[in-house]
A and B are shown apart, each in its own frame.
Chain A
Amino acid sequence: MTKSNFTRRGVLRTGAVAGAGLSLPTIFTSSASAFTNEPQGGSVTLGFNVPQSGPYADEGADELRAYELAVEHLNGGGDGGMMNTFSSKALRGNGILGKKVEYVTGDTQTKSDAARASAKSMIEKDGAVMITGGSSSGVAVAVQALCQEAGVIFMAGLTHSNDTTGKDKRANGFRHFFNSYMSGAALAPVLANAYGTDRNAYHLTADYNWGYTTEEAVKDSTEALGWNTVAAVKTPLTQTDFSSYIAPVLQSGADTLVLNHYGGNMVNSLTNAVQFGLRDKVVNNKDFQIIVPLYSRLMARGAGANVKGIFGSTNWHWSLQDEGSKAFVRSFGTKYGFPPSQAAHTCYVQTLLYADAVERAGSFNPCAVVEALEGYEFDGLGNGKTLYRAEDHQCFKDVLVVKGKENPTSEFDLLEIVEVTPVEQVTYDPNHPQFQGGSLGSCNPGA
């Protein structure tokens, strides 16, 4: 407005600008609160950041169902699910610290960049005080680092790589899911039992971080029991047809094939391996066997009948008969009509654990929450007695060794539990070589 014009509209406009100026005292800056996104008013917002597009979209959808269920239970709706079996009784079904739980959702696309953009929008726009979810280690590590910077808590969803609580661990991040090392440690004795101690294993490994840590873990634990590793071949993430990797396996004299693959890679490599008739072969007078270190129900569904009789490990399974699992399966199954997956379970539990930690700490302040979760021991959430270790923010609990079921009764009934490996057997030192190179730093409340 360089030239003055005293028309009626001009005056009105000037008046409006002045009026806006008068309301300036309501200006506040973000440093007014003690930590990032301190909940104001009667509600608290959690950010559920799951893959909604891309290959893991179905897994993300299941995670989201679990989150919605957890929110319902925290706000006092439904039958309360695992809140009734949880060893801590701090949660009373009146939200968290009396504040009603609200949530926002985002799409990670299973890409680090998209996941961080989505998490940032939750933090910056929606005022989320905790971010959770995800279906791969790349995303988990990226979002965990972001939450550390921004000063909010990150409760990891499905992430199995050692790195998440190893070289890339962060003080604001927590993982309930198990990891590669635990898979190896739990599987090896069962495998030795079932297939003997003089096996020759051939590894096919997805050529990225998670694949490396899984291969290392399984190799170490099986070799310790007397197995011999014939070869370990890396396969590209983008590979869809694994025939040229699987065909040479028999030539090598191996009698066991370990598929360190996840998601679509695993579905395809297992399908191809069965196609090549590997399981009908006899090598070194032993039946040829295939092993999949990390199982998920969605992958088992994708591979169909090919999973029958194949060993693997999983974090949790709905056929567990403890009170916590039963309660969770009941409320999830009643609401959605089918049993929950392990991804759903870990996400549900993470939400409850966060809410419980806030209640016990009496504050949403990330540092208070970190303190409440570190070294926390609990029970009744489906995996027996569990410890959130203070040194690396990793949960230590029993690990399930499972096998593809021979006669499934439904499309969800694909795995059967072979053994529940006790927690002592999968516990490792925080400075174990597979986990070196990281440091937690200290908690960051932001603001």
Chain B
Amino acid sequence: MFKLNKKDLRTLIIVILLALFAPFLLNPFPTDSALAQFNAGYPDLMQRFVIFGIFAVGFNILFGLTGYLSFGHAAFLGAGSYAAIWMMKLLTMNIIPAIIISVIVAGIFSLFVGWISLRRSGIYFSILTLAFSMMSYQLAYSVLTPITGGETGLQPKVNDPRLLDGALAEGAIPKANLFGLDMSQSYDMSLGAWSFTFNSGYYIAAAFLILSFYLSIRIFRSPFGMMLRAVKSNQQRMTYTGLDPKPYTLAAFVISGMYAGLAGGLLVAMDTQAGAERMFWTASGEVVLMTILGGVGTLIGPVLGSGAIKYMENIISKINSDILHTWFAFLPDGLENVIVAIIYPFIGKGWHLTLGLLFMIVVIALPGGLVEGAQRLSRLFKKGKNKSNENE
């Protein structure tokens, strides 16, 4: 089906199911329980999961297949965001033109950067891409302020022109929509003690993720994908057989740049704001880390990696000492304070520490990233059932 082999189809179906049932899967704890702190099933974070998933999936097409490590992909995400927000300011709050233009702008920008950077390979390539993205950040934050909003970024305002939209009703606020369907519109469902949120913006973003993921599988399995792998394993040999690797790598670069632009456009569509920080080198580094953390060159790894990092950033950082005390309130006072004092450095404002430790543990214990962890788990299960056909 869909021109996929059985194994890829299975992966795709898993991704589709995960995306569809994310509101359930991410809210496993009853709303009023102490563990509800770990629930991640609210619209903003679900949206960020899939958007950064798209970003990482696209990045993996370049890095996972060709081995070219770009340290400047955040620039394309940023360029896509700015393009999208300007569409919303000038044309319409409908997200379709915004997303289309963000992909196009990011594509053109990545064509330019890729065309220049791909003249070099290895670390020299990485530094070239890094330099381009840092230049974009520095200029967007300062001298380009009239276009980018600089420090304060851009948000849609009531008095923007918006040629295609009719005038806003008195007191109305411009909201991103898909032909009238508001991105922030949600439907809450309570099942006993549990509550689940179904958000329109999330499902639109998730549809894009599924589409992007499907496309990425097709690229991985296509002859084009084989060429890209050839670039990674032995570029010299490829040249000797009379093939020029450059067009292939450039194509991969532009495709992954367009994925980044799509992610940027979606970020704006879900949360109407664009700022220069999106292009800072740490943002480029983040997608590199997401991909490596999940598993370079695997299909689903980048999605897992981006989920893990965004979860840390948004959930662990919100646990404060107050919450810790309520969790351990059942313990005797002295013991409670000791335990809180031990855990406290790792949560709340110390969430970076936990993130750093996670990076180190994963790379030391699971050399193939989170995907390898999942594979080991499934192998463990399978061992119990049937030891025979196992060829992972």
Q: Which residues of A does B touch, CB under 8 Å?
A: 20, 23-24, 26-30, 52-53, 57, 60-61, 103-107, 111-114, 116-118, 120-121, 124-125, 136-138, 141-142, 145-146, 148-150, 161, 163, 168, 207-210, 212, 234, 236-238, 438-439, 441-444
Contacts and interface: CB of A to CB of B under 8 A. Distances in A.
Given A113-B275, A118-B318, A441-B173, 5 more contacts: A26-B192, A27-B188, A121-B45, A142-B153, A149-B184
Contacts of B277: 111-113
A138 B275 contact: yes
A376 B204 CA distance: 43
Interface residues of B, number: 50
A148 B155 CA distance: 11
Contacts of A439: 157-159
Contacts of B42: 120-121, 124-125
Contacts of A441: 158, 171, 173
A196 B173 CA distance: 50
20 contacts: A27-B188, A27-B189, A28-B188, A29-B188, A53-B317, A111-B277, A117-B44, A120-B42, A124-B43, A124-B186, A125-B39, A137-B152, A138-B152, A142-B152, A146-B271, A149-B272, A207-B142, A207-B143, A208-B145, A210-B151
A142 B273 contact: yes
Interface stretch (B63-71, B110-118, B347-355, B371-379): B347-355
A149 B183 CA distance: 12
Given A149-B173, A441-B171, A114 B191 contact: no
Nearest to B152: A141
Given A142-B273, A145-B273, A118 B317 contact: yes
A61 B352 CA distance: 16
A121 B272 contact: no
A209 B152 contact: yes
Interface string B16-46: 0000000000000000000000010011110
A175 to B, nearest CB: 14
A302 B171 CA distance: 45
Contact of A20 (B48, B143, B191, B275): B191
B126 interface: no
A343 B106 CA distance: 40
A323 B171 CA distance: 41
Contacts of A60: 349
B370 to A, nearest CB: 22
Contacts of B352: 53
B317 to A, nearest CB: 4
A120 B44 contact: yes
Nearest to B159: A439
B152 A116 contact: no
B188 A30 contact: yes
- Residue with the greatest number of chain B CB neighbours at <10 A, chosen from A113, A163, A236: A113
A218 B243 CA distance: 63
Contacts of B349: 52-53, 57, 60-61, 107
Interface of B: 39, 42-45, 48, 138, 141-143, 145, 149-153, 155, 157-159, 170-171, 173, 175, 184, 186-192, 197, 267, 271-273, 275, 277-278, 313-314, 317-318, 320, 322, 348-349, 351-352
Contacts of A26: 190-192
Given A104-B318, A112-B273, A141 B191 contact: no
Nearest to A25: B190
Contacts of A236: 138, 142
Shortest 3 CB-CB contacts between residues of A and residues of B = A52-B349, A120-B44, A442-B171
Contacts of A210: 151
Contacts of A137: 151-152
Nearest to B43: A124
A444 B173 contact: yes
A116 B322 CA distance: 23
Contacts of A52: 317, 348-349
Contact of B314 (A23, A117, A136, A443): A117
B256 to A, nearest CB: 21
A105 B320 contact: yes
B175 A149 contact: yes
A161 B153 CA distance: 14
Contact of B151 (A105, A124, A146, A208): A208
Nearest to B278: A113
Contact of A30 (B138, B158, B186): B186
A116 B151 contact: no
A142 B273 CA distance: 7
A120 B152 contact: no
A138 B138 contact: no
Contacts of B267: 113
A208 B145 CA distance: 8
Contacts of B348: 52, 105, 107
B273 A116 contact: yes
A112 B173 contact: no
A124 B158 CA distance: 24
B188 A237 contact: no
A116 B271 contact: yes
A111 B352 CA distance: 15
A24 B317 CA distance: 34
Given A29-B187, A118-B318, A208 B273 contact: no
Contacts of A234: 142
Nearest to A151: B173
B160 to A, nearest CB: 11
B145 A27 contact: no
B45 A117 contact: yes
A263 to B, nearest CB: 12
Contacts of A209: 145, 149-152
A85 to B, nearest CB: 27
Nearest to B317: A107
